[in-house]
Amino acid sequence: MSSLMQNYYPTFKMYQDVRNGLMNSLSDGDLTFSPGGENPTLGAAMVYLKAMGKQRPHQLESWIG
């Protein structure tokens, strides 16, 4: 295994665990929350990211695993 993977993988694994925990803890109410103004709800933002992922999958994967 390369030294880059040896150094980077533990951090990546921790990030994935935190992300998975956050995604599992979101409720419907969380997804419908909007901070107001022209800001989208969290659910709408996630739909946008999914659509963007179809166009730029490698970039999205680097953000959300």
Q: How far apart are the first and last CA of the chain?
A: 20
Has residue 65 got a pLDDT over 60? no
Reduced to 3 states (helix: H, G, I; strand: E, B; else coil), residue 2 is: coil
Q: pLDDT tens, 4-51?
A: 778 878 888 888 888 888 888 989 898 899 889 999 998 888 888 777
pTM over 0.95: no
Which is more confident, 39 or 55? Answer: 39
Q: Return the residue matching tokens 């599992």.
A: 24
Q: Return the residue matching tokens 């150094």.
A: 7
